[in-house]
Structure 1
Amino acid sequence: MSKHLNIVSIEELMEQISESDLYPQLILQLQKDLNRAGIDYEINKNSTFKELFLEIEQLLLEKINNAFNDFLNLLYAVDVSERDIKNCNSEEGVTVGRYATYLILKREWQKVYYRNVL
């Protein structure tokens, strides 16, 4: 998978979410799924999307390195498939963490968007 395609997708996602009134609901949905996964973490509700992305990326890196089952539980709670994670084509923790953050936020946005717009 091309890094350029990931960057474009992340930027498109960021633009779509940043321009929406549904951003607070995205944060609530993400917090709900973190709790369902058994991860005791409070999201900063006042963060911009870019800050949220970095915050979740750091959380995932910590889970990948120190509590891998928590990472897997979160993927399951959010409904990110193992196949999608494998598409990352990297074993480097930072790259996997960044890609997983993108997939998680993308999936959470889909949940919020479909619930409120369609």
Structure 2
Amino acid sequence: MSEEYHITLIDNLITQVNNSNVYPELLRQLEKDINRAGIEYQIDPKIQIKDLVVALNDLLLYRLQHAFNAYLNLLYAIDVSETDLRSFTSEKVEDIAVYSTYLILKREWEKVSYRNRL
């Protein structure tokens, strides 16, 4: 799957998030899980979803390049599907970061949606 495909998936997820009223809860859940993975990270509660996607992608890209174990711990803490991860075939670190961004936001959205019965 191409990077463009994953950007489309992220855009679809952004639309779902924007059409709900639980975005602040998504931010809290994401920040909690990032910190639980041992990465000190604060998310501005006023951040727009598209800016969040960029910030998360940058965080993941850095971890992939400089702190791979922290990247793996984050995926584990968030409970990202191993099956989804293994289905990705690109070896380009930039593509992996985009795909991981999508998987993380998707999983966090699932958690928040389930709790709020969306």
Q: TM-score range by the shorter chain?
A: over 0.9
Which amino acid in structure 2 is aligned with residue 10 of structure 1?
I
Rounded Cα–Cα distance in structure 2 between residues aligned with 1:54 and 1:44: 13
Match of 1:104 in 2: 104
Rounded Cα–Cα distance in structure 1 between residues aligned with 2:93 and 2:2: 18
With structure 2 as the length reference, what TM-score do the two structures score?
A: 0.92
Which amino acid in structure 1 is aligned with residue 100 of structure 2?
A
Rounded Cα–Cα distance in structure 2 between residues aligned with 1:51 and 1:111: 21
Unmatched tracts of structure 2, length 5 or more: none
CA RMSD of aligned residues (A): 1.4
Displacement after TM superposition at 1:4 (Å)? 5.3
Question: Which protein has greater RCO, CA pairs closer than 8 Å, 6+ apart?
Answer: 2
Match of 1:6 in 2: 6
Q: 1:22-101 maps to which residues of 2 (within 5 A)?
A: 22-101=22-101
Match of 2:19 in 1: 19
Contact 1:26 1:108 in 2 (8 A): yes
Cα-to-partner distance string for 1:22-53 (whole Å, 9 max, x where unaligned): 00000000011011100011112211111000
Displacement after TM superposition at 1:20 (Å)? 1.1
Contact 1:85 1:96 in 2 (8 A): no
With structure 1 as the length reference, what TM-score do the two structures score?
A: 0.92
Contact 1:13 1:106 in 2 (8 A): yes
Q: Percent identity?
A: 49
Rounded Cα–Cα distance in structure 2 between residues aligned with 1:97 and 1:4: 13
Unmatched tracts of structure 1, length 5 or more: none
Secondary structure in 1 matching 2:109: helix
Which amino acid in structure 2 is aligned with residue 72 of structure 1?
L
